[in-house]
Amino acid sequence: MIKHIVMWNLKGSTPEEKRQAVVQLKTAFEGLIGKIPGLLRLEIGVDISRVDYACDVVLYSEFDSHDSLSAYAVHAEHLRVKAELGDLRIARHQVDYPSEPLAARAAA
């Protein structure tokens, strides 16, 4: 399994503008559920800490393989969402890593 985590800071000079950007991003990415082969889990988290170094939003997703993650990157629905949200984002950070189920780690 591959975990794909992306964090963004979003545009918005007022709390209401930020809130609207968060809602738009969350709605767009959650709309991908069931449309991407190999996507096992997708979750959008919104920061509640409000510390100055925190990102506004995180995408946590799991794919059944690296090939599925690679296919997601160029999937038409994902590209549509990226284009739709392109001007909302002011910063982006990403980490992709392989993960084993806990049972496999415990047996090692």
Domains of the chain, start order: 2-102 (3.30.70.100)
pLDDT digits (tens, 9 = 90+) for 47-59: 999 899 999 999 9
| Residue linked to tokens 């950070």 | 93
Q: Which of 99, 37, 30 is nearest to 69 (CA)?
A: 37
The pTM for the full model equals 0.88
pLDDT of residue 105 exceeding 70, the answer is no
pLDDT digits (tens, 9 = 90+) for 59-84: 999 999 999 999 999 999 999 999 99
pLDDT digits (tens, 9 = 90+) for 10-46: 999 999 999 999 999 999 999 999 999 999 999 999 9
Long-range contacts for 76-83 (Cβ within 8 Å, ≥24 apart)? 77/31, 77/32, 77/35, 77/36, 78/32, 78/36, 81/28, 81/29, 81/31, 81/32
